[in-house]
Every structure is written in C-alpha cells, then in structure tokens.
Amino acid sequence: FNQKLITKGNGMEYMSTDSLDNTRIELLLAHMNVENLMDVMESLYPLSDTALYDESIMSVSPELDEPREQTDSLLLSGEQAAFPSSVRYGAVEDLLTFANQVSNAACGFWKCLRQETGILLKKNDMIAKRGRYQIGSDVLLFPWKLTYRNIGSDFIPRGAFGKVHLAQDRQTRKRMACKLIPIENFKAADVEIQACFCHENIAELYGALLWDETVYLFMEAGEGGSVLEKLESCGPMREFEIIWVTKQVLKGLDFLHSRNVIHHDIKPSNIVLMSTKAVLVDFGLSVQMTEDVYIPSVLRGTEIYMSPEVILCRGHTTKTDIYSLGTTIIHMQTGSPPWVKRYPRSAYPSYLYIIHKQAPPLEDIDENCSPAMRQLIESALERNPKLRLCAAELLRHGALNPPPEDQPRCQSLDSALFELKKITMKELELPENITDSSLHGSEDSMVPKRKRSLYIDLGALAGYFNIVRGPPTPEYG
C-alpha cells in the first residue's frame, strides 16, 4: 500500500480511509493468512520484552501479599453454581457468578484447567465454537502499540494490574479492548460495575475468559485512545475540547452517583475517547455504597488526583469523584497533573502530605483559563465535600453551556480537533479527491467534511480504519 501521512507539530490528525480503500482492506483480510501475520508481529515485537506504561509510582492499592479486603458483592447470595468447564453465552448474573468463583477460588486450582472457560454476553459479536473461544484462533489480540505510527516507544496501556490489547473476533470482525489480568490480582469488582450498570458513557463489558492463569476482560474499545494519550502526543487541550470531555464524564458520573457508586479513580488515562462520545473505564477500585458515607480500610485511587477526604480515610462520598475530575481538568488545561510543576516527583515521591495540607491546587489552574471555567474548577475542587457541587449541578454550570457565539461548534471530539487545526490545514496541499468520512455531526452542524491524505498501517489491517495519535512517553511532559 502507498502510505501518505499528515504530521503537524507533535501530533497527527485523526484520519480514516475512503470507501474504496476500506473495500480493498476487507478483501485483503478475507484472503490473507492472519495467523502468519500474527506470527510476524510476535517475532518483531515480543510481548515479553515490551516495556509497559507503569503508573505504580502514583497508584495506591493494597499490597499483593496482604489479605484482600472483603467487600460485599453485587451478586445476590444463592445456591452455589457449578464452575463452567467451557466458554458459553450467558446473562449478567452468570458473568457475576463466574467472576466471584474466579476471585474466591483456592490458589493453584486454575492450573488444572484443560481449556479456556468463561461467560460471553455478546452472542452476535463474539462467536464461540463448541464451547471454545480460543485466543489467537477465534479472537486475535494485537499489542496496542501496533496501531500507532511511532512503534519504537514500546507502548502497551496498563491498568493497576493488567495490560490492555486490541482484540478482534475473526468471524464477526468485532473490534474490542481486551484487558489481561493475572489471576492472583483479579477480583470480582473488576467486572461488577460494568456488568451491572449500562450507560453510554461507561465502557460496555462484553465478556470474561479464564485461560493460562490469566483473566481476559473484553469490553468496548475506544478508537481515539485515552485523554492521557492525547495530552502526551498533542499537548494541552483547548477549552472547547475540555468542555466536551468534561460534559461526557459528568454524564457518566451523574449516572453512577445516582446509584451510589464511587468510581474512585477518575483521571485522564481512565477516560477513553470515541468519535462521538467519551467513556469511563477501569472500575477495579469502584464501590457501591450501602450507607451515606463510605469508610475504606485502604486508600483507593491515584494519589495525585485524590481528594483530601480520601487521604484522611475517615469516610467519603461520591463527591470525591468530582474533586478528581477537577484535578483532571487542570491536567487537560496544562498538560501536567496538579502539584508536579511546583513539587517535582524527583523530590517528592509522595503527594499525600502535600494534598492533605495544601489542597485544593488552585495555583495550578491555567492562567489563560476563562472566568467561567475557573469558577467551575474551583467548585469541583471545593475542599469541603458538603459544599462541593454534585455532577448534576456541574452539568448545568454556565462554563459547560456557553452561548454558540463564544465557542466553536463541537458535536464530537473529531469536529473539535478539526476546529483546532483548520487554520493549519489551509497551509497544506492535499489531493482534491480524498475526503474524510469520520465526522459524525448533526443536521445543525455546518462543519464541512475534511480533505485528508491516506495512511494505512497494521492497525488498519486489523480493522482499525481510524488512525489514533502517537503513544505517550513513560513520563509526564
């Protein structure tokens, strides 16, 4: 394939192929030997040697050697169900039962398994054959770095205890995200919230498998990557982009908080972007409160985004997610998390004491921030959680609902990025016959379709026709 790309500054524009090129790729995928392609990928990029994006320096969670905290499961108690010996389709209740069985089973039991086992929720998208859903045969896993232009950085997203890959069902070609969690680190909470609560701003869970002492969680994939990846590749976001992302996150939080669920880890890497929406991911630290205040036995979250009340461990509510969103907005504005510019990590390995004494980090708000946005951030970062606005109140805030003449038209992040770069686009000479069909505007949108160049890589061959931006570096800017 001929390769053409557009590079501007430190980032790359979001592109897609036209219908003719999509047809050619589909024909190639239909007749090529995909297993040979995977063998080549694995030989070129061995996973065992891949450097992982590690947030452990900032993440707070129980030590592996300590007994796990016993939490109430969302699964209602009842008769003990038999452990599945194969992969089968089921309902949410079946998936929750499976998750609890895996989480509570004795150490070493999984070494006796002769084949993969698990529960799939998407019968039309994930095709299990005779009780099997084999990794590498029925579903392909692609290291995330292969969908980026800059392959040399050896990037694979990583959560608290898991790596994330791109997955594609070989028969239906359904594209998914697949999180791999070692069995010793898996807990039922990793799937409960996503399985039980369905909302457009929460990544949908498709199923869970157990094989080779690893739990595979299949879920909705974000073609645009996370907010953190955008920040690392493109720098600070403009205010109208921040408004779009913040409204998406608040919609998800409003839904969760109305059901007494605390996410506990709102941060840029846990906000995943799609062409027309943003979704929350990584619910491993989430809890559903049974009382007005949740009193944890350990710290939950990533410390640099933590609220002061979480650090005290004397009890907190859903308002802690609002504070974390406020710190995330600062990160989106400036390209760096709060505190780190004034207190470099090289000199301050922990920020718990700083947050306890000096929160909120109002000095880190961008100096070019509009008065309305500054007011919203200050409301979200209110130190007293009783005075802090809730998600529903923030959604009605004037900063998130500016008059049309004050903000560019942004029906999606795609169109927002177009508005950001349209001046630079005029300076480029592009072929007249190449257009981009990735915009998803409404009828009121007057944003014209963009003229683009074509870029095809291994990610496109895997079925990803929308090219995402380059990967982040291991450290914040």
Q: Is residue 414 part of a domain?
A: no
The last residue of a domain, from among 372, 387, 405: 405
Between 206 and 31, the more confident residue is: 206
Percent of the chain past pLDDT 70, that is, above it, reads 63
Domain match, 262 and 204 both:
no
5 occurs within a structural domain? no
168 with 185, same domain: the answer is: yes
pLDDT (0 to 100) of residue 417 = 57
Q: Looking at residue 273, which CATH number applies to its domain? A: 1.10.510.10
CB within 8 Å of 396: residues ≥ 6 apart: none
Lowest-confidence region among 271-280, 311-320, 446-455: 446-455
Q: The domain spanning residue 62 has which CATH number?
A: 3.30.200.20
**Are residues 246 and 395 located together in one domain of the fold?**
yes
Residue 438's pLDDT is: 36
Catalytic (active-site) positions: 265
Check pLDDT > 60 for residue 320.
yes
pLDDT tens string 153-197: 333 344 445 588 889 999 999 999 999 999 888 988 889 999 999
Q: Which tokens belong to 336?
A: 């760096």
Domain that holds residue 361: 227-405
Identity at 431, one-letter amino acid code: P
Tell me if 2 is assigned to some domain: no
What confidence score (pLDDT) does residue 151 get? 29
Residue 143, pLDDT score: 77
3-state secondary structure the chain: CCCCCCEECCEECCEECCHHHHHHHHHHHHHCCHHHHHHHHHHHCCHHHCCCCCCCCCEECCCCCCCCCCCCCCCCCCCCCCCCCCEEECCHHHHHHHHHHHHHCCCCHHHHCCCCEEEECCCCCCCCECCECCECCCEEEEEHHHHCCCHHHCCCCECCCCEEEEEEECCCCCEEEEEEEEHHHCCCHHHHHHHHCCCCCECCEEEEEEECCEEEEEECCCCCCEHHHHHHHHCCCCHHHHHHHHHHHHHHHHHHHCCCEECCCCCHHHEEECCCCEEECCCCCCEECCCCCECCCCCCEEHHHCCHHHHHCCCECCHHHHHHHHHHHHHHHHCCCCCCCCCCCCCCCCCHHHHHHHCCCHHHCCCCCCHHHHHHHHHHCCCCCCCCCCHHHHHCCHHHCCCHHHCCCCCCHHHHHHHHHHHHHCCCCCCCCCECCCCCCCCCCCCCCCECCCCCCHHHHCCCCEECCCCCCCCCC
Assess if residue 26 is contained within a domain: no
Instruction: Say yes or no to pLDDT of 428 above 70.
Output: no
- Tell me: do 186 and 246 sit in the same domain: no
Domain co-membership, 188 together with 240: no
Checking if the pLDDT of 458 tops 80, the result is: no
**pLDDT (0 to 100) of residue 475:** 39
Domain boundary among 375, 405, 435: 405
Give the end of a domain, one of 219, 235, 268: 219
Looking at residue 466, its pLDDT comes to 37
pLDDT for position 92 = 94
User: Is 123 found in the same domain as 237?
Assistant: no
Q: Report the domain count for the chain.
A: 2
**Domain shared by 82 and 192, yes or no:** yes
| Highest mean pLDDT of the ranges 16-25, 116-125, 461-470 | 116-125
Average pLDDT, integer, range 264-277: 93
pLDDT confidence of 113, banded at 50, 70, 90? Answer: confident
pLDDT at 382: 97
Q: Look at residue 105 and tell me whether its pLDDT is greater than 80.
A: no
> Comparing 94 with 80, which gets the higher pLDDT?
94
What CA–CA distance (Å, rounded) separates 63 from 54?
A: 16
CA distance 360 to 60: 20
Verify that 304 and 379 share a domain, yes or no.
yes
Instruction: Compute how many other C-beta atoms are within 10 angstroms of the C-beta atom of residue 437.
Output: 14
183 with 241, same domain: the answer is: no
Query: Which pair of structure tokens corresponds to residue 379?
Result: 């409301």
In a domain, 148, yes or no: yes
Is residue 416 assigned to a domain? no
Q: In this predicted model, what pLDDT tens digit does every residue of 211-231 receive, in sequence order? A: 988 999 999 988 788 999 899
For residues 82 and 165, membership in a common domain is answered with yes
For residue 380, being part of any structural domain is answered with: yes
| pLDDT confidence of residue 59 | 42
Residue 108 lies in a domain: yes
